Structure 1
């Protein structure tokens, strides 16, 4: 794995959490959806909202199905962007490992 990309992602989301905590007094929040349970969920604040924090994926990401469907070869660094599991508010990065896996099939 390219540690530069991983470090940059961790730095980005650490800053995001720090800004959120400074401005709002909590970790970042996301709307709660019982059908989209995620390892990112840290605390349930209410029926509508949860706090979240990014977590590292347990397994490597494989985008072969996307490459085949698009008939292109993706640069290996693209897979590095999926090292973390994040909430849906971040474009192209899936909240739940199961949702990510189904989206690349």
Structure 2
């Protein structure tokens, strides 16, 4: 298990670095996010203009814990989802795979990590209420009704409609899935 966890961490770090490098290559600056003083993050770098800040993913040092989530749900969370959400702080990262376009979800800060855990608890409680297999989301797709999840028992990656059972297996593991991704550098068209 330790080798798989190490490989997943390496894949996340490599993918996020590739995203930043390709973004910089295309636009000659770090990725941008709207500046919000109420929503600080260790990802924020420098001011780009009056409204935007440059950002980049940063490794969590030390990694945060999922213990309170596991205690709240009385459930052991699959190690891959724990490693996924405790490797980096980051804005969502657009990516593409053979199935299409998606946004990888990450915690922006420690406060956002707490909010993320609350959302995961709500998702798991819904799955339990519907008597469905427990899954944990980690990405959203271009279709607002479909998210990507990790099946908690097996660690497999699935596509899943909100409130429904997973309907399409995407990868055998989160490690394999992250390794298959390409950064998606989409530039918003300028509007006046």
Match of 1:35 in 2: 38
Where structure 1 has 5 or more consecutive residues not aligned to the other structure, the ranges are none
What is the TM-score with the length of structure 2 in the denominator? 0.48
Match of 1:46 in 2: 49
3-state secondary structure, aligned to 2:54? strand
Provide the C-alpha distance between the structure 2 equivalents of 1:87 and 1:17, rounded to a whole number of angstroms: 11
- Indicate the larger mover: 50-59 or 65-74: 65-74
Match of 2:90 in 1: 86
- Once the two structures are superposed, residues 20-59 of structure 1 have per-residue CA deviations (whole angstroms, 9 ceiling, x without a partner) of 1111111111111111111111111122111111111122
Q: Indicate conservation of the 8 Å contact 1:61/1:79, yes or no.
A: no
3-state secondary structure, aligned to 1:37? coil
Tell me which of the two structures has the higher relative contact order, counting C-alpha pairs closer than 8 angstroms and 6 or more residues apart.
Answer: 1
RMSD of the TM alignment (CA)? 2.1
Q: Find the partner of 1:11 among 7, 11, 14.
A: 14
More strand by share: 2
Mark the CA change 1:33 to 1:88 in structure 2 (over 3 Å): closer, same or farther: farther
What is the TM-score with the length of structure 1 in the denominator? 0.82
More helix by share: 1
Q: How many residues align?
A: 105
Q: Find the partner of 2:25 among 13, 22, 38.
A: 22
Structure label with greater radius of gyration: 2
Q: Find the partner of 2:112 among 71, 94, 99.
A: 99
Where structure 2 has 5 or more consecutive residues not aligned to the other structure, the ranges are 94-102, 119-192
Q: Indicate conservation of the 8 Å contact 2:92/2:104, yes or no.
A: yes
Q: Find the partner of 1:63 among 54, 61, 66.
A: 66
